[in-house]
A and B are shown apart, each in its own frame.
Chain A
Amino acid sequence: MHLTLHLTASCNLRCRYCYATGRDKGTMTLDTARAAIALGMAELRKKDAKASLGVIFFGGEPLLQRELIREIVRHCRTLEAASGQVFHFKIITNGTLLDEAFLTDPDTREIFVAFSHDGVEAAHDANRVDAEGRGTFAQLSPTMALLLRHKPYAPTMLVVTPHTVRHYADSVAYLFDRGVRYLICSLDYSGAWDAATLKELERQYKTLAAWYARLTLAEEKFYFSPFEVKIASHIYPGSCRSDRCELGQRQVSVAPDGRLYPCVQFVGDADYGIGDVHAGLDEAARRRLYTLNAEEKAECAACAVRERCNHFCGCLNRQATGRLDRVSPVLCAHERIVLPIADRLAARLYQQRSAMFIQKHYNALFPLLSLVEDRTTGIGQ
């Protein structure tokens, strides 16, 4: 189980596709964070007492609350020693405030860092701008190098908009060339996509398929989420459904004021509240949202690829259509584009008997083997 702590609603950037509504306000107190963690531990005990509780630092920009992060980590370490409850930590940051001190501080150096970056300068600076509207690409260049030096497995989250789609393949290649190996890519589903930009998206994915094949045949290790997820959805039938967040079942978002929501995109919207850290989870509200989201969407019932599709992600649907039970047409278009390209790519690599492809996708021990290799060759030390 994961608790996503929205430490602050403030952010030092003004990304043009940001879904934050401004309805959530303020900064989380340490007491609220402590209450959230106590709630998370209680929930976890009901399901799997030995499991690790994930604490995700989120915002706004969570590094605006650096001291609060340290206090929360210390609090969790104290609980670990006293109760045996294991914790793991993650921060999702725009990177602008990331520095050596945070990456080496005894309290924060174990935090898994994921950061947002949209790739080449033209794509990144089109949307990821500061309060004065200035792009942050140049500022982040040394930060990326610093982060990857300390945390070579740090994932980078890239958002593709209709305006930047023509840079998609170049952006992915740029990030890979900079040393990023975990690329989590998503569309701005609320963007004004049309036939022309979707056609361009298809062209970019075909370019990326060639890039992916070339690197895999060269036995590079990397993760490019759009293809990995779709390939896995065939290799492990049913994985697409079982891996979903299940709205509030596996992760709960905690607003700065302590109110609880089923996902980060709902924070501040009272219609989607599922309790608060002091009164606890509102099980009826949580169940209602879960049930609403889990129902097969009528317009998708006859679709031949619905089991491999992400249409049941209520968060994305709400972002695009305003309702979690109404599927985003952009998502539908994206799935129809990416699925056959990913399948053809995988078929080609399988038929060529690419050892890296087979180990990566079929061997459950691949992450362990990869880690062992890296450790024995000095990567990630």
Chain B
Amino acid sequence: MEKLTITPVTAYGAPAYPTRGQLEAEPAALRRVPRRWRGQAVVLAVLTGAGVATLAVGTAQAVEKAKIVARLAPLFPLGVERPRLAGDVAVPTLLTEEDARAIVVEEAKKAGISFAPDVLAVEKVRIGKDGNRYANEFQQIDLTLDGTDAGRKIHYEIVTEADLAQWRGGKNAFCISTLDAAVTLREGLSQKLPEGTTVLFHDDGAREALRKQVQEFLAWLKAEGSI
């Protein structure tokens, strides 16, 4: 019989659901009331009394829509099922900025979202140095979001190798993943949110994976009642 050994996980993507602290940027989520509680006056009174919910049963989504001024969608990292283990060092070939944008625009169009490029700029976004989410030092960047649907007030930014290189002053960016960079960018953007819904994607080199990220974002928007 083979001997089991301790095997440290060398990399693990950020889970695609928020921490309690991150959820505070999205208070509408906590106002979601299970169907089984909707006829329960006492339960709703406790919820309301606790300041967790102020919605009238049956009008929940309308209230949530009205309250949305600026929000960040969660990240939709793929591949979290398999943590990378020691010795797993393959470096993916990343997409170009243009290719990545084209995929996002194409997928979004299927849901009726029409992104115009480079419409909205956000100044002085604080991110980890060189786009490193684990860095103890920070830098500020001026970010022009990759696309905006002005009518629906939906904006996206896809973090690519080109973005990483720009944030690092042209230096090689292979040692930092685009997902990690998206995490630190998301934290920075949460302090500088434009009106509407902003989502961050990341390029990990697989066209289908990026397509899936966009599809998951669209499913999220649908679940939110936003499209």
Contacts and interface: CB of A to CB of B under 8 A. Distances in A.
Interface in B27-48: 29-30, 32-37, 40, 42-43, 46-47
Nearest to B85: A336
A333 B4 contact: yes
A351 B3 CA distance: 39
A237 interface: yes
Contacts of A299: 6, 8
Contacts of B82: 340
Interface of A: 192-195, 198, 219, 234-237, 299-300, 302-306, 327, 329-330, 332-333, 336, 339-341, 343-344, 346-347, 349-353, 355-356, 358-359, 362-363, 365, 368-369, 372-373, 376-377
B65 to A, nearest CB: 13
Nearest to B50: A365
A326 to B, nearest CB: 9
A364 B82 CA distance: 30
From DSSP, what is the main secondary structure of chain B's interface residues? loop
25 contacts: A219-B34, A236-B20, A299-B6, A303-B8, A304-B83, A332-B6, A336-B9, A339-B83, A343-B15, A343-B16, A343-B17, A347-B17, A347-B80, A350-B16, A350-B17, A351-B17, A353-B29, A353-B223, A355-B34, A358-B32, A362-B20, A368-B46, A369-B43, A372-B46, A373-B37
A359 B44 CA distance: 13
Contact of A355 (B7, B35, B46): B35
Contacts of A327: 6
A54 B220 CA distance: 44
B4 A351 contact: no
A232 to B, nearest CB: 10
B210 to A, nearest CB: 17
A219 B36 contact: yes
B43 A329 contact: no
Interface string B178-218: 00000000000000000000000000000000000000100
Contacts of B33: 355, 359
A330 B1 CA distance: 14
B83 A305 contact: yes
A54 to B, nearest CB: 26
Contacts of A339: 12, 83
A19 to B, nearest CB: 19
B46 A369 contact: yes
Contacts of A359: 30, 32-34
B80 A344 contact: yes
A242 to B, nearest CB: 14
B88 interface: no
A376 B76 CA distance: 39
Contacts of B8: 299-300, 302-304, 306
A376 B39 CA distance: 11
Given A329-B6, A376-B40, A351 B216 contact: yes
A113 B52 CA distance: 32
B19 interface: yes
Contacts of A198: 4
A76 to B, nearest CB: 31
B133 to A, nearest CB: 12
A346 B74 CA distance: 13
B19 A332 contact: no
Nearest to A303: B8
B224 interface: yes
Contacts of B3: 329
